[in-house]
Amino acid sequence: MAPPGRRSPGGGGRAVSAAGRRACVVGVGETRYARWGGITDASEYHLAVEAVLAALGDAGLSADDVDGLASFAEDRNDATFMAADLGLPELRYASMSWLPGGGGACAAVANAAMAIETGAADVVVVFRSLCQGQFRRFGRGPGNLPAQEGPPRIPHVRRAHSLLEAHVAFTMPFGMFSPPIAYAMVLQRHMHRFGTTAEHMGHVAVTTRAHAARNPRAVMGGRPMTMDDYFASRMVSEPFRLFDCCLENDGACAVVLTTAERAADLDTPDVEVLAGAQGTLQGFGHGQYSNVSMADDDYTSAGARTVAARLWAAAGLVPGDVDVAEIYDHFSGLVLLSLEDFGFCGRGEGGPFAASGALSWPDGALPTNTHGGSLSEAYIHGLNHVVEGVRQLRGTSTCQVAGAETCLVTSAAGVPTSALVLGRR
């Protein structure tokens, strides 16, 4: 356990004055996970509420105990409406991480932990609901609709709604239409510099699928995969094959945080937030998705080296102290880059590290994505990785690492990102 007076988990807050206010995760909750478009009987918002209630039930708490809500990346499920619909007595704290996409999952938890430790709130629920089947999907939105009968549409000029849209306006005319294309370029460069191979990425995909086979919640749990299956899958954007790319899903999950003092009165095992860090490299912008004007060492990385350095310093740990890892896996190749940035292997050595069997359960040196990850359990913008980290330290994972006391959880590589170190109490 970290001593009194340590910094708050966000990596920059004031010193914590009392050990009793250390932030702990005391509850986790999930809805069912389904493939894109698979949930038609509940709205994305309904699923968010369902996940929050499930997490509170797991913690042995109720909505009457909650005074804070947190999420990330422009969550569509507004905390103020949720507070009203859940019947919270008072909403004292609400936050949204600015970090884009899956980069903010761990940041949202760290922000909640800071609120707990500074006294801004006593019980904070972090949630994410993502129903890709109920909203716009790339290639199926305004301007890309199938031809319809009737008079032709009148062309018009539309102002970009965000800085990201403005940035990608310079790359899309050259064919960079989507994340698989953008990050395929990063992996091509990594292959050129370091000799990384498709087989190295295949080890990530196959290992993750094997973990999912034991997980009844995993969307791909009933679909075993061999390396031959991996190489037989169609090419999406070279070098990424279909099984290098994360799932598209409907579902939601949530985690509940409170003080260590209050956690001691609950029946469920609590997991301490040992440290958290978030941020981005100088000049990184939105990452390689919209920016190629950066140093080669940064371009061929997860963009997380400074976040990693601050995380380990705040936790007082080194990579070798970690028992299990839940590493954001929107693309298999970016797991290799995250392993490098967080110090589990040297620059350019992520591929051989994965090929060595290090990520496998139960015998790997660093069992990774033991729930199946975004590649094989579900793509819920990485908050389900936090849920699995908590399960590991409670001893309830379907691929339980024996005696696990520490877990690294990372958010998306290739964008401004965040990470957590969780510890068993």
User: Pick the catalytic residue: 93, 289, 299, 379?
Assistant: 379
Residue 183 annotated in active site: no
Structure tokens at 306: 């400074």
Q: Where are the beta strands (DSSP E) in 178-318?
A: 235-237, 240-241, 249-259, 271-279
Residues forming a β-bridge with 407: 324, 422
Phi and psi angles of residue 27, each rounded to the nearest 5 degrees, phi first: -155, 145
CA-based nearest residue to 338, from 1, 102, 60: 102
Q: How far apart are CA 123 and CA 417, in angstroms?
A: 25
Burial, 394: exposed, middle or buried (Cβ in 10 Å; 0-12, 13-18, 19+)?
Answer: middle
Three-state DSSP at 84 gives helix
Phi and psi angles of residue 48, each rounded to the nearest 5 degrees, phi first: -60, -45
Residue pair 424/406 in contact by the 8 Å Cβ criterion? yes
Q: How far apart are CA 370 and CA 360, in angstroms?
A: 8
Q: How far apart are CA 232 and CA 211, in angstroms?
A: 21
Residue pair 420/106 in contact by the 8 Å Cβ criterion? yes
User: Pick the catalytic residue: 93, 230, 299, 328?
Assistant: 328
Q: How far apart are CA 210 and CA 215, in angstroms?
A: 9
Residue 379 annotated in active site: yes
Residues marked active site are found at: 328, 379
